[in-house]
Homo-oligomer: A and B are copies of this chain.
Amino acid sequence: MGDRGGAGGSRRRRTGSRTASGGSGGGGTSGSQTEEELRAAAGAGADAGGGGDTPTPTAAPACTRTPSEEGDGEGVGPPDLRCHRLQESLFSSASGFSNYRGILNWCVVMLILSNARLFLENIIKYGILVDPIQVVSLFLKDPYSWPSLCLIIVANGFALAAFQVEKRLAVGTITERVGLLLYVANLLTMLCFPAAVVFMVKSITPVGSVFALGVYTVLFLKMVSYYHVNLWCRQYRAKSQAASGTKKANGNVVSNGVKYPANLTYRDLYYFLFAPTLCYELNFPRSPRIRKRFLLRRLFEMLFFTQLLVGLIQQWMVPTIQNSMKPFKDMDYSRIIERLLKLAVPNHFIWLIFFYWFFHSCLNAVAELMQFGDREFYRDWWNSESVTYFWQNWNIPVHKWCLRHFYKPVMKMGVNKWMAKIGVFLASAFFHEYLVSVPLRMFRPWAFTGMMAQIPLAWVVGRFLQGNYGNAAVWLSLIIGQPVAVLMYVHDYYVLNYEAQPTS
């Protein structure tokens, strides 16, 4: 109310002064004040006493005569018949008006209405497709065989193997070279073994294998970090032992935390494995206590958004994808684009909900349970004005890992900055592909290409678009880019697995 009154007041002040100074056409401007004040007073009354519409004292045009109190034309003074002023329309650039605040609300209302209609159309067309029981079948084909769970349990073996290598490296039973070889073998097996299992075991479902492979990927990244940090600690220990004869400085700085060989315990290893981070550290920052209300809210969000995600996928995503198959087979381009845009909306909403569910609810719940202090799982990527900023801020655990265990070590090896960045994207593209192609048992370069396409995209956006345009470009690439990849995979999977079936 106050804001609106302020805007109106300033506008009237401007036009008022223009009238006072620029009344060149027609008669004098003496009468315009009364009419305007009466109108403004009536307007203020209509606003139920808001008073936002009355002109400010400075808004009165220069006028020496007091307005006639008797009203229009009935007083002794000349009739106040003027009700027009020399002024521009607001849309004309000459008016200087620029308050389009209401347009934001318009956008929000239009978006809500559009999507309410889509929702209603969907319900009318397909009925209610949400089926929580069906979700179980995505994880299990055969209720007596749980291959994904077995895979995840086996993953412990790789972590324990790495732990044993570290133990021996710490006491010097094996040399650094042997340790590195053992680590590399362990890490490679960690990637190849689950992939092989997924290919061999026919009872594993795509969703189950994505889950298992995700766990293995996280374990892989964590173990790389574990090795690196312990290696750095050994290097420091060797140097400080060599220097201990000459000076005994700085030893007190790290004395209030765990020092190197003392961190090699099962307890420390498993804390790291379950902690919501990919970067190992000897002394993680810990939150002082478990906040029960916070934890309960996060757990409730986890449950609620899981239901919502499953519901949206079943109700909105699956029918849209199924309807996209025919245009794709016919190579009907205008329909493909229409389907793509139709798919983009639910896909984007699901991605946004997934983001909140995973990065805020799940990781915070785990962190709260483990009293893990660092909750920076994401930064303000929604304000990204460049693609680079987005990738640096939307997934902080992975970004931190890439920076600490890939980008900086590679830079230290003397590699060019741009090569190192491309290397990071290549590694990221590899893991994206690994997590999609292996579970689908189908090698297609779409996820890989999608990740690698970020490099030219980042260059183009950074070069040509700035500010809000850059932000809009990032949003556009998110909203459009993902459904393209999704449609590609679904189409190929469909052709590969269901081509024999008749399409309606």
Contact surface of A with B, Cβ cutoff 8 Å = 1, 3-4, 7-8, 11, 15, 23-28, 30, 35, 38-39, 42-43, 45-48, 65, 71-74, 76-79, 81-92, 97, 99-111, 113-114, 116-117, 120-121, 123-124, 229, 232-233, 235-236, 239-240, 243, 250, 253-254, 256-258, 277, 279, 281-288, 294, 334-335, 337-338, 341-342, 344-345, 348, 356, 359-360, 363-364, 371, 373-380, 382-386, 388-389, 392, 400, 403-404, 407-408, 412, 417, 421, 462, 466-468, 471-472, 475-476, 479-480
Contact = CB atoms under 8 A, between A and B. Distances in A.
B7 A254 contact: no
A239 B42 CA distance: 27
Q: Is the interface of A mostly helix, strand, loop or mixed?
A: helix
Contacts of A338: 117, 120-121, 124
Contacts of A1: 385, 466-467
A240 B97 CA distance: 42
Nearest to A88: B375
Given A26-B286, A285-B84, A388 B47 contact: yes
B235 A74 contact: yes
- How many protomers of this protein does the assembly include? 2
Given A35-B404, A85-B285, A87-B375, 15 more contacts: A25-B288, A26-B257, A74-B235, A81-B233, A84-B277, A84-B281, A84-B373, A87-B374, A89-B377, A90-B379, A104-B104, A104-B107, A108-B472, A109-B476, A120-B337
A70 B254 CA distance: 18
Contact of A43 (B3, B71, B236, B392): B392
B376 A85 contact: yes
